[in-house]
Structure 1
Amino acid sequence: MNNFEKYKELSAQSICQATMIFDLARSAEKLVDPNCSGLNNPAWSEGPYLAPYVGAPEIPKAHPYVIMISIESQAAVNISHTGSASRAPTSNDGIIQLILPENNGSRADRYISKLVTIEQFEILKDFLVSISAPINKKQSLKSIGKIEPVVLSELEAIIARRNELTHEISPPISNMREAVEYYNSCIWLAQVFNDSEHYGKRFTLS
């Protein structure tokens, strides 16, 4: 398997794994969200969501479900509130409020999309290094004249977005649609650099 085929395999595994994890997480989010209760709720008109096997009874959606959290989640809450993994926080009413960032009602969307976008760049970077192609802003500027402007523009855009998500504390919020589009841009760039000795001079975006 050559470097490009290996790149395609790794990048495909990464994005498909991320979208599947998102589907599972978002499906669970809907089931525990009171705003999604009711069989005719718009939340169930578009995936992802859990559905019964063909012929099996419908999953009840009249009321929200509760989730029994993992040992890891409990430890994270404990450490963040009490400084000890083994000591749980307390409150007068027994409820610990976790004010966590979300995107359109989803905590999974922004975090999974952010992580897979960064991972996609790292997979692409590894391939580009193997063929001595530019992997950062400084190198891309040195490639002006070698790289078709449309290719250079796309490369600089994915570098800039990766840098935002990696280095900024509060970057513009990402989502899974953007992550899949980012993957599409990465694999297009990899194809361009792989196919042309002159860094994409024969290629333009369709």
Structure 2
Amino acid sequence: MKLDAYLELSKGWLIDHTSVYDLARSTERAMQHDYVVPKNPTWDDGPCLGSWNGTERIQAAVPLSIKTSLEAGKAAELAMGSNYAGHPTGKTPISFLDGNSPRVGAVIARAGIVVQFELWKDYARLVSYPFNKKQMKGWTFLDKREEPNLEYAINRRNELTHEPMPANDPNMRELVEFCSKLHWLAKMAESYMANKSSN
């Protein structure tokens, strides 16, 4: 995989993760009893649902409800076991990991960071660049920012993969910043390869 191919794949995944977040978070917000749909939404109001025909129609329906997928129903049954019994109204209370919220941003950001690291690691492996702490030992970095950025990326990915507790949840901003660091590291790896081949 060349640098351009890695960057294109990484950017595609980043757009997918942020778009899924926008859809999920806007729906989550519209399901809250006290949600007020912004009349003329600005970037600061997002993500939120809006309407080409005006916000009154959506506001009249707030709070919205959601008809979940068969997969979500099976997941609830698996998670709740015999306690899972559909309510006559069709509303079934779900026990989320962290209280009453599905942690939309945290779940998507965590998955995104792990995916971004794995994409980057595939690229780093192909260009013989270190992607774990053992490989970092004795490595000569071209830029003084490389080592702390690489160490941060490795530590954060490991933490999110091996310590899946809500206390260390990332947010969407961290996902975007993490991805930016990995892109920079990939470009440094490319510079390392160019340096190596010219010597």
Aligned CA distance change for structure 1 residues 10 and 94 (closer, same or farther; 3 Å) = closer
* Partner amino acid, structure 1, of 2:34: N
Q: Percent identity?
A: 30
Partner in structure 2 of residue 124 of structure 1? 120
Distance 2:36 2:10 in 1: 36
Gaps of 5+ in 2: none
Q: Is the 8 A contact 1:110 1:174 kept in 2?
A: yes
Partner in structure 2 of residue 160 of structure 1? 155
CA offsets, 1:25-62, max 9 Å, x none?
A: 1111011111324657x9x9510111112xx1324325
- 3-state SS of paired residue (1:61): helix
- 3-state SS of paired residue (2:122): helix
Matches of residues 129-140 of structure 1 in structure 2 within 5 Å?
129-140=125-136
Compute the displacement of 1:192 (Å).
1.2
Q: Is the 8 A contact 1:23 1:49 kept in 2?
A: yes
Matches of residues 166-177 of structure 1 in structure 2 within 5 Å?
166-170=161-165, 172-177=168-173
Compute the displacement of 1:167 (Å).
0.7
Q: Is the 8 A contact 2:130 2:136 kept in 1?
A: yes
Partner in structure 2 of residue 142 of structure 1? 138
Aligned CA distance change for structure 1 residues 9 and 198 (closer, same or farther; 3 Å) = closer
CA offsets, 1:118-169, max 9 Å, x none?
A: 00000000000001000101111221x4443311110010000000001113
Aligned CA distance change for structure 1 residues 120 and 132 (closer, same or farther; 3 Å) = same
Compute the displacement of 1:91 (Å).
6.6
TM-score of the superposed pair, with normalisation by structure 1: 0.80
Distance 2:104 2:36 in 1: 19
Gaps of 5+ in 1: 200-206
Structure 2 residue 81 is the aligned partner of structure 1 residue 82: yes
Partner in structure 2 of residue 21 of structure 1? 20
Aligned CA distance change for structure 1 residues 21 and 7 (closer, same or farther; 3 Å) = same
CA offsets, 1:103-128, max 9 Å, x none?
A: 9x662100000001000000000000
CA offsets, 1:64-112, max 9 Å, x none?
A: 01111111111111222236xxx95257998643231459x66210000
RMSD between superposed Cα atoms in Å: 3.0
